[in-house]
Each structure stands twice: as structure tokens, then as C-alpha cells.
Structure 1
Amino acid sequence: MTPRREPHRKPRRALRIGVDTGGTFTDFILVEGGRVRVHKVLSTPEDPARAILRGLKELLGDRSASKVDLTHGSTVATNSLLTRRGARTALVTTAGFEDAIEIGRQNRKELYDLAYKRPLALVPRGLRFGVDERLDERGEVLTALDVKALGPIARRLKARGAESVAVCFLHSYANPDHERRAAEALRKAGFLVSASSRVLPEYREYERASTTCVNAYVSPLMSRYLAGLTRKAGLARLRVMQSNGGIISGRTAGEEAVRTILSGPAGGVVGAFEAARGAGFPDAVTFDMGGTSTDVSLLRGRIGFTAETEVAGCPIRVPVIDIHTVGAGGGSIARRDPGGALAVGPESAGADPGPICYGKGREVTVTDANLFLGRLDPARFLGGRMKLDEKGAARGIARLAKELGLSPLAAAEGVLRVANQHMARAIRLISVERGHDPRRFALVAFGGAGGMHACALAHILGIPAVVVPKDPGILSARGMLTADVVKDYGRTVLLPASSARAEALEKLFRPLVERARRELKAEGFPRPAIERMVDMRYQGQSYEITVPLEGRGLRARFDALHQARFGTSNPARAAEAVTLRVRAAGKVQRPPAARAAGGGKDGARARTGHAPMIFEGKKLRGARYERDLLRAGDRFRGPALISEFSATTVLPPGWSCRVDKRGNLICEERT
């Protein structure tokens, strides 16, 4: 069963649920009318649907899911690529180019590693087949497609157990006819087919072939997973978060699964963008620390995008939110490395067995260190639903300390210090190394562990303010309900900038815009917002800059963007319009914005007591606050621990916190 489409209609009294599947927890947010509920369950990585079905049952109780509109951030495509457990995939390409996907660009990630081995090609040599056909760069036929050769190829593919086929012919972006005919023949033979002229009609055959192969590899698994989830849950409608920050129908996600590779992290950035803007910080660094990893992104009044990313050694050329990930999370394992030093991550305890304090783990994690130092309330974790094992965590810290020759206190603080430096390095990568001073940005902290480390990171980087939104552990799921239905389209044109006049561009854009309107109408949005962009470069350059098409002055905007990004421009040099891009968006109804009750003063009504907290080797008396009882206008100082259902926020000594009208915690270091 394929997830079905449901016509767009006026807002009805349906249940809207956002679900984000993480490595440790699966997060839920339910919106019904003006009411919002949040929920968490432990993830089941071997079968993500199990955790979702369990969470839905706990959220809905006896109510049916037949009126549920569910938006899902899924790791299925990512994990199948990382673990190489996707469909058995073949590649049909222009004869003589069968090995292009393995040869690649001849670059190596580890330049000085003499024993470096390139990742294995996604499609093995025995499943790569060449067909006689050839087009030139203008799409003119040099050699007609040998359709008869596809029959024997199909039989050999079946004999070798292929399930899915990627079709990628040279220059098919200029003329898709050969690919369409080949894809049709292979579909009739019983294969699932991804054609590059549909997935990525752009030049650079290696990236196009790689992206198409990834889509062919992950789509069958994704399609089955989404169909099974829809059927088992009995959902009214299923939508899936894409890497570009928009959502698409479950059916489209099953067919174009390559667009969901960074599904979960993208939802977090969308949610953080809305939170930062609402708190008055349009320029911000998003900091999403979960149980397994940390994702960071830079906002400069808008969400940043990149045209290409790489996962498991495979280049993927689809629009994605510009996110950098490091293997440091609450479940990251601390150990003594072969040189005798303390190391943290990238290995994670995940959801099973999890940290020692969860009751089953055996290895010390970042979460265990936080608990040992009094930075987690063992009685308030997940709103008191999950008790933490303090004694077990202390025993684990003591074992690690003995291995390192340190006191337990020094070992626990060392674990957090190492983890914080890993995450600070990631933030420097997206800010300092790109010419941005982090002292000009706020830090938006979310994820289950983000609030525990945010102030320490801000101190390291000189960031002046930390914003912790309401329900930070659920922000990625909330972002998915905030996202619009978005689809991106591209087409390579290779046109001199002098010829890229408004009339000529309008004619070239027309097929993309018509396709965008047609497909968004099928998603239920007859009048989508259309944004046009042009990838441009100076003649002789290898890569481009995406320039918004806003009336006239395209060339001047390109020169200005080039100057801003690289510190140089050359208005006298010839330029080219390389690829046309269209983004179509259908606006969805957003969940109600968070609001905090007013009348706050010093947070006294939310203070539940005091407990020891350890900072820099000193045991201090820290206040404990129940976040749900805080009001707009409340102000207090650290050290303090602020607990809520989905996360905990640590306010170190020397820091102050205020609650704004949306319920955000605004934390600032006192000078």
C-alpha cells in the first residue's frame, strides 16, 4: 500500500502530530485546536515504526488515528545508506561510463593517510551496465538509443537479484528522451527505476549519477517503511520532512527518498529559526544536541542552504539545509584512548543499552557525567516517568577515573570539557572559518541535551546570549509542523550572462514553473508561492553561487554576492548562468506560538528547592526550577537547574536567566 494523497482543504478539527525519530528518543508533538501536548519514547533503531506506534498509542489513548495528519522526520534513508542495507541496486548508463561512479573526482578525504581506502561504490561492478547511446552537451543525438539491448540487461539484472535500477545517461539533463525510454522499458521488466533526468536534471555526470544511485538505493526501503507505518497506524495523511526544510507527501518521499537524507536535523533548524526570530535574534547559531550526535547551523536572518552534501562517501546533489554534524551527544561514550588520554565519542550508547544511569548501560557517557555533577535531577527526568540510577553512574565514573589516574570529580568534569570542545569546534567551523564572528550571534539550544551544555559553549565561544525555547527536546518535531510543503526543481542551461535577459529567462523557467505548479496542486496547493533562482559563475570557474531572481540587475547581484562570500569580484569578466532553480511552497497552518503567562518577577513560585551542583571542582548550592511554573518576566541567577518534561537547562554560576513573553529562556553571562 502506498501512502495516499489527501486533497487540501480548509483547516478542520484534525489532530496534527509531528514525530522526530532520533538515535535515543523518538519525540512527539500533538496539536489539537489551540492545545499542544508533547511526548517522548525510547527509540527502536532496528524498527523505527515500533517506537512511533507505541508513542501514538500513548498519546491518543482510545482514539483512532484515522483523523491524524502526521509529519515525520525519518532516519530510514540515512541509516540504510550509512549501514549499506538498502535495496540491491543496478546502474544503467552510457556505454563506456560504467566506472564513472567509482572513479569519482579522484579526491581523498584523508590526504596524508597512506593506507586510505575510498568507500566502496554503492553499485558493485557486476551490476553496472552500459548501453549504446550518446547525446552531446546540447542534447543532440549522436548515437540513437539501442532499446533492444535493454531486454538482455533486464534478464541479467534479475538473475543477479537487482531490485532497483538507476538510469543515468550522459547529457540527459539537456534531452531526457533516451532516459525516459530506457526507464519505461526497465519498469515494464519489473524494476523500480530512478532516472537522473527526473531526480537531478543538472550537469556534472558523477554527482548526478551518485545522487540517482542513492535514490534508487534508499527509495524501496523508504517506500515500504512509510506504507507499513501508514497502514499499521491507520493514518489519515502522512507527510515527511525533507533535507531542504520543507515537507512532502509520503508517496513522494517514497519515490524521492534521497531528499530525506537529513530529514530530522532539518526539522530542528526550521524550529530553531522560528524560535530565534520570535525571541528577537534573527542572527543565531542553532545547537541541537541529542543522545547520539550534535547538529549545528548558522542563521543570518534566514536559513542557510547548500546544493550538495556527502553521506557515507556518496555525493548527494540536492538542496539541503547547511548543517554540520559531530559525534557528540548525551549518549557519547567516554573512554581512555590508547595514548592514555580521555576521549569522548563518536561511539554512542544509543537507546539500547543507553547510558549507565538508564539502568542497562555499562560504559560511561556524557549523560552519566552530567548526573554525577548534579546537572540532572534524577527524580525529574522525563517529568519523573524515568528514574535515573545515580549510584550506577557514580560507579561507572569511578571506574573510568581509576583508568585515567584521576579523581572521579576530575574525570566527570573532563568528560564534559572534552565533549564541549568537540561541539565548539563544530560551531567554529560554520562561523569563524566562514568569516563570521560568533560574538555577533545568539545560540539557540535544543534537543534533549542542548540546554545542559549551551551556556558552557557560549562561554567558550564568546556568544553573548543563549535562547532555550519551550519544550527544547521536542523542537525538531515542532519544526516539522511549522514547515511548508516545499519542492525544489533545477535545470542546467549554460547560458552567457549577457544572454540571460528577463524574456529569455522567463521562457527557460516556464517548464520548471509549470511542473512545480502541477505537482504542488497534486499535493493540495493550487496556488503555491514560486521562487526563482539562477546558479551563476565567472567564466572558467568550476562552481557557482545561487542568485535570487528579483526583477532586473541579476549580474550586479551576482557580483555583490561573490564579493560578500569570497572578498573579491570582477564585474568586467564574462559570467555564465549555469542552472535555473525553482522553489515552490504551499503554506501550511502553523501550530500556535508558545506563550508564557505574565506577572513574573524572580521565579520564586517555580523554585522547587536546592541541591548541590559542581562547577570547576567546587560544590555549590544550586536552585532548582520547574519550567512549566515560570512566567514571562521572571529573572534569576545561576547556579540553577531548570527542569521540564523534554529537557534540562543548566545555568552556571555567573549567568542570569530571564523568561520572555514566548516562554523562551534567555541566558546571559554577567560581566
Structure 2
Amino acid sequence: MLTIGVDTGGTFTDFIYVVNGRTGTYKTLSTPRNPAEAVLKGLAHIAGNAARPLGVVHGSTVATNAILERKGVRTALVTNAHFTDVIEIGRQNRSRLYDLAYRRTPHIVPPDLRFGAPGRVASTGREIEPFDEDAARAVVEAVKQSGAQSVAVCFLFSFLDPAHEKRMGEMLADLGLPVSLSHEILSEFREFERTSTTVVNAYVSPIMTRYLTDLAAGMGDGGLRVMQSNGGSISARTAMRESVRTILSGPAGGAVGALSIGREAGFDKLITFDMGGTSTDVSLMDGDLPLTFESAIAGYPVKVPMIDIHTVGAGGGSIASPDPGGSLAVGPESAGADPGPICYGRGGERVTVTDANLFLGRIVPERFLGGGMRLDVDGARRGVERLAGQLGLSPEELAEGVLAVAGANMERAIRVISVEKGFDPREFTLFAFGGAGGLHCAQLARLLGMTRVLVPANPGILSAQGMLLADVVKDYSQTVMLGEDADAAGLTPLFADLEAQAAAELEAEGVPNERMVHERLLDMRYAGQSFEITVPFVPDMREAFESLHEHRYGHRNAAKPVEVVNVRLRSRGRQDGPAPIRRKPGTPTLPDNAVVGVQRAVFDSASHDAAIIDRDALRPNNRFTGPAIVTEYTSTLVIPPKVTATVDPWSNLILETS
């Protein structure tokens, strides 16, 4: 069996593969117009002519791009009569509060594709208006005439009694259209969020189904699994049906890989910094993966479990340009893979972060992508000089300014997930990866006052590596709305039912019973609050809730009643990913073959001789001080002056910035 992790990014598609216990890597430019093309090209390169079964775990941006670019299918919504505009009214929040001329972007389900059906279930789960088969048939005919290509069905309180919703779904399925039922996608209260999540699923699932079907056909005899936003994987068949769970699958792979490697290296308090060609993803891990149940994609609430990741439009391909006031702006527009930065020589004409790094001597052109990709150094220089002239700066000032602006964008992103949530980033280790993460991590750590940076081996393909490490994960939830009298004994049967469902679904995905692990959780709040926090299910539920509430918000209220809003079950099927290799220690002195050259590089407006170091030649305990440029196949690591780097037993580079 040849096991392969594949991460499709905006600029590169990354591969890591394991065969007979040995690991290899591969990168190729992404093909945004047809993402499967780059994936199949990489799989063919890795497998060669060997007739062996493939096991692929894939993180894809297909669902993400479909919603961001509004390129999903024509989607209809069927809900209760008189409630068809719930998705339009929402929570009545204005994204631009003081813009008197603000006009919202039209919803992905326009008014003429919203249909109301008679029948009603009360908030207690009791039927108060029967389902009308004749009226439902008229709705089905209207959906048929509308030209819809997919349908979302969301009835009030269907999470308590889904009978009406199921029957409506059965009738719509006779049209041959994919149908998403809200009680299957999100069995929780809050109809707006449940409707929105179901609509997004219906909007992107046909696109994802087409993509995965083509990919599976191109793979031939092989198993295909898909990464979820929650840090686990699911079968391709499940991903086709519940595509909303894959929207942040690529970044989730990086988070899983970072947590695994960080734990092995002895660091459990991490801030991950994943800088690719198009964007930067950051996340804070205080001992475990941070999950959130309140997310929005392109302004649409998506209430499925996701790793809490904050994304900004600052990547290696982010374009530098004058803003309307004549100042320098960087991003969020990206050159992507086509045409890419100027230095890629593929027709790009606008200066990017990568071009600025190359101009400042922080990239070694002969060793970029292992020497497999030629860079147009002169083209990048001309582009930097041209933009510098427009802004009245010297080329060096312009290039350093590009990196400073990009760095400020990334610093703000990390403050959002740390300082704004009560965490001090100085108490964490910055875990840097992605194709461009190593170019900026030392600068970013200094901006944040962080003294330690961990850069793993093969950082440019860590997201793909995380996919091979990911367990099979299933998340379940059920709204219960219980007051102060709720107790552990009363909730246990609910968890038992969810665990039985989870065990059956994990078994269907090939997970044996002895490798299943179930984690019981509760969403709790003080009476009167409009938000919940998730705590472990323990005998003293109140203390678990109040302890976390006090840690997060600085106070507790012993006199206030508490409520149990939702029960949650997180079930996983443990998988055996590639095991880390602990290497024999060497000495602090670099091996003779480690330094392969010297290159002039600019740091803080001064030119330095930076040692060019081949990372593959480094050994545990090796120690050196910048300025240096560490090159490897998947990434480049810049070590500024006065920053010290040490190789640990697992081949990670630990940078000390103080």
C-alpha cells in the first residue's frame, strides 16, 4: 500500500507519501481551473508505473472556493410556509454599521428559489399542523420548474421531530436532485444558523461530488479519504454528502500535524503560523486542537465543528501596490499559481512578497524547490524598481516595506487569536510551516515578543503530513435545553444513543471497535445568556462550566442557574500515521557539507553575508547563529542576525530570537 497525503493550496499542491515505512515529498504548481489535474499529476509522479493500491487522504479547497467565489450550483430552499426569508433576515447584523449606502450581497438562494410548505412542529417537538402531502407535491413541482440543481430542506424544530423533513426530502429525491436535510447536517436549535449551514451544504455538495468522482476515477484502484475542517478525515462518499464539513480541510491538516510534532518535541502551547502562497492561517493550541462551533464563510454562518483558525490574505503571492492614499499596501489580492509572482516567469507583472524576498537575497534562486524551478531574478528586480519609483522609495526600502506590511498583517492575525482571547503570545512557541512560513517566522516572533520558534522538517508539506496523521472523526450533537436539574445520570442515555450511531458509522468506514474512542461534551451557559461554552461531560457539570467560564471571562456567578443546551459526541477511529524518527545526536558544530555557499542578504537596511545551509545535511544538536538561509526542497528558512538555531532529535529547527 502506498499511502499519500495531498493538500491543494492556492499556489502549490503538496504531497507526502509513505511506502514500506519510508517517507517522500513532492510539490507541483496547482491548477486552479481544474484542481484534479495537479493532484493526478502528482499521484502519477509518485506511483510511477508501479501497479500498487493507493490510499489517499486529501485536503481540498474545492468547497471553499465554490462558496467564496459564488460558483456553487443553483440551490433551492424548502422550509415552513411563511419562514422562507429566515436566511435573508438572519440576526439583523450589519457588517458595515455606519455605511448608510450599504447594500448586502445577494444571497446564494434568491427569493424565487425559496419555497414554503405547510406543516408545523412546535418547540416541544409536538406536531401542531400535519404535513400536507398535496401541498408538498405542489412544492416539489415548483422546485422542478425552478431549474434548481440542489435542494436544502430545513423545517422548524426538525431536530426534535424530523418526520416532516424526512418526508419532504423523500418527495424531492424523486426529482433526481441532491437533497440536504437540516436534521442530518446540524441537529441543533437556532433555525437561522441551521438553515444557513444546510443551504451552504446543498450549494457546494454537487461541486464536491463531481470533483471527487473525477478524482477517484483518475486514481483507479485506490481508496480516497477527505480531510474535514474538524481535524479528522471521512470517506469520499460522506464528503460528497456533507461537503460543508470540508470547507477548511487544508488548514485543518496543518493544525493536526503541528499538534502532533509539537507534542513529540515537548511543546504543548503552540501558535501555528502557516504561510502559503495565497494566505496565512494561524491558530492557538493550549494542549489540544481548538474547536469552534460558530464560524462564517463568505458571510454565511456555518455551524459545524471546525478547528479555530484565523486566515488573512497575506501569502508569498500577495501583491504589493499603492493604496488610494499613495501608501504601500500588500494583499489580500494574490498572484496565485497562475501567473504567480514575477520571479516565476509565467507572465506575472506585479510585485509580490516572494519577489521582495528574492530581491533582498532571502531566497536562493538556484535551490528553490530543490533546484527544480528556475526563478527570474532580473524580472523580480525590475518589478521592485518599477514599483519603488512609483512610490518614491529606493528599491531596498520598497522591498523591506513589503515585508514589513505583510508582517504587520500577520501580527494582527495572531493577536486576534491570542491577546483578544486572553492569551499572552510570549508564553507560546511559534510553530512555523507552509512554503513561506520560514521566510517570515523570526521577524514575526520578534514583533510579538515570542522567544522560541519551531520549524519542522519539510515545513512546506506539513498540511499534507497532518492529513496522514488524522484520525477518522465523527461529530454529533443534539439540542436538549435542560435547566439546573440536569444531572449526569439523566444525560447518559442520550450519549449512549449517539455512541451507538457513531460506532455504526465508524464501522462502515472500516474502523474496528477496539480503535474507537468517544468523547462526551456539553454546551452550557448561565440562564439568560445567548451563547454557550463547551465543557467535558463530568459528574460535576456545574463546576466544569464555571471553571472554564472564569478562565475565559474572568468571573463566575454561583447564584445564577446554569443550563445544558446541547449534548455533543466526538467519536474518532484511531489511525496509524507515519511515526516520527528520533535521530542519533551529533555535535554543535555543523557538518562540513552543511554550508553550501554564501549569499548577500539585506536585514534591517544593512547588507550581510548569509550562510547558505543545506537542511538535509544537518544533524541533531547542530547549532548556529544567523544570518543564514536554510534551504530544503519544500521551503526556505531565513535566520536573521543574532537569532540562534538548534536541531532537535526529531530534525526540527528550534530558533531562539531573544
- TM-score by length of structure 2 reads 0.98
Correspondence for 2:119 among 124, 130, 133 = 133
d(CA) in 2 for partners of 1:505, 1:388 = 61
Q: After the TM superposition, which residues 259-658 of structure 1 pair with which residues of structure 2 at under 5 Å, given as runs? A: 259-360=245-346, 361-498=348-485, 500-527=486-513, 528-550=516-538, 552-605=539-592, 606-658=594-646
Superposed CA deviations along residues 280-332 of structure 1, whole A, max 9, x for unmatched, are 21101000000000000001011111002111111000000000000000000
Going from structure 1 to structure 2, the CA distance change for 1:235 and 1:78 (only over 3 Å counts) comes to: farther
d(CA) in 2 for partners of 1:234, 1:588 = 23
The aligned counterpart of 2:244 is 258
- How far off is 1:604 after superposition? 3.8
Deviation above 3 Å: which 4+ runs of structure 1? 594-597
- How far off is 1:601 after superposition? 2.3
d(CA) in 2 for partners of 1:25, 1:149 = 51
CA contact (8 A) 1:331 1:367 kept: yes
SS of aligned partner of 2:375? coil
CA contact (8 A) 2:233 2:467 kept: yes
- How far off is 1:235 after superposition? 4.1
SS of aligned partner of 1:268? helix
Q: What amino acid sits opposite 1:620 in the alignment?
A: H
Correspondence for 1:89 among 69, 75, 89 = 75
d(CA) in 1 for partners of 2:599, 2:69 = 43
CA contact (8 A) 2:14 2:28 kept: yes
d(CA) in 1 for partners of 2:561, 2:621 = 57
The aligned counterpart of 2:33 is 46
- How far off is 1:365 after superposition? 0.2
SS of aligned partner of 1:497? coil
CA contact (8 A) 1:288 1:295 kept: yes
Q: What amino acid sits opposite 2:559 in the alignment?
A: A
d(CA) in 2 for partners of 1:274, 1:235 = 30
Going from structure 1 to structure 2, the CA distance change for 1:116 and 1:603 (only over 3 Å counts) comes to: farther
- How far off is 1:626 after superposition? 0.2
Superposed CA deviations along residues 146-180 of structure 1, whole A, max 9, x for unmatched, are 12222222222222211111110011111111111
d(CA) in 2 for partners of 1:144, 1:510 = 31
CA contact (8 A) 1:470 1:594 kept: no
d(CA) in 2 for partners of 1:526, 1:464 = 44
- How far off is 1:19 after superposition? 0.1
Instruction: Say whether 1:198 aligns with 2:184.
Output: yes
Instruction: Say whether 1:174 aligns with 2:160.
Output: yes
Superposed CA deviations along residues 444-501 of structure 1, whole A, max 9, x for unmatched, are 0000000000000000000110000000000000000000000100000101132x22
d(CA) in 2 for partners of 1:555, 1:429 = 29
d(CA) in 1 for partners of 2:323, 2:71 = 30
SS of aligned partner of 1:396? helix
d(CA) in 2 for partners of 1:156, 1:142 = 25
Q: What amino acid sits opposite 1:71 in the alignment?
A: V
Superposed CA deviations along residues 495-536 of structure 1, whole A, max 9, x for unmatched, are 1132x2222101222321211111111011132111111101
The aligned counterpart of 1:8 is none
The aligned counterpart of 1:5 is none
d(CA) in 1 for partners of 2:221, 2:629 = 39
Q: After the TM superposition, which residues 28-47 of structure 1 pair with which residues of structure 2 at under 5 Å, given as runs? A: 28-47=15-34
Correspondence for 1:71 among 52, 57, 61 = 57
SS of aligned partner of 1:477? helix
- How far off is 1:113 after superposition? 2.2
Q: What amino acid sits opposite 2:50 in the alignment?
A: R
RMSD: 1.0
d(CA) in 2 for partners of 1:112, 1:368 = 38
d(CA) in 1 for partners of 2:135, 2:34 = 40
d(CA) in 1 for partners of 2:444, 2:90 = 38
The aligned counterpart of 2:6 is 19
CA contact (8 A) 2:144 2:175 kept: no
Q: Say how many residue pairs are matched.
A: 654
Correspondence for 1:56 among 43, 46, 54 = 43
- TM-score by length of structure 1 reads 0.96
SS of aligned partner of 1:185? helix
Which stretches in structure 2 are left out of the alignment for 5+ residues?
A: none
CA contact (8 A) 1:243 1:320 kept: yes
Correspondence for 1:183 among 169, 176, 187 = 169
Deviates more, 1:577-586 or 1:510-519: 510-519
The aligned counterpart of 1:110 is 96
- How far off is 1:597 after superposition? 4.6
Superposed CA deviations along residues 378-436 of structure 1, whole A, max 9, x for unmatched, are 00001000011111100000001000100001000000000000000000111111111
CA contact (8 A) 1:119 1:313 kept: no
SS of aligned partner of 1:376? coil
CA contact (8 A) 2:450 2:657 kept: no
CA contact (8 A) 1:382 1:644 kept: yes
d(CA) in 1 for partners of 2:89, 2:196 = 11
Q: What amino acid sits opposite 2:615 in the alignment?
A: R
SS of aligned partner of 1:90? strand
d(CA) in 1 for partners of 2:20, 2:484 = 50
d(CA) in 2 for partners of 1:198, 1:147 = 22
CA contact (8 A) 1:445 1:466 kept: yes
CA contact (8 A) 2:235 2:509 kept: yes
Instruction: Say whether 1:154 aligns with 2:130.
Output: no
Q: What amino acid sits opposite 1:298 in the alignment?
A: L
Deviates more, 1:375-384 or 1:150-159: 150-159
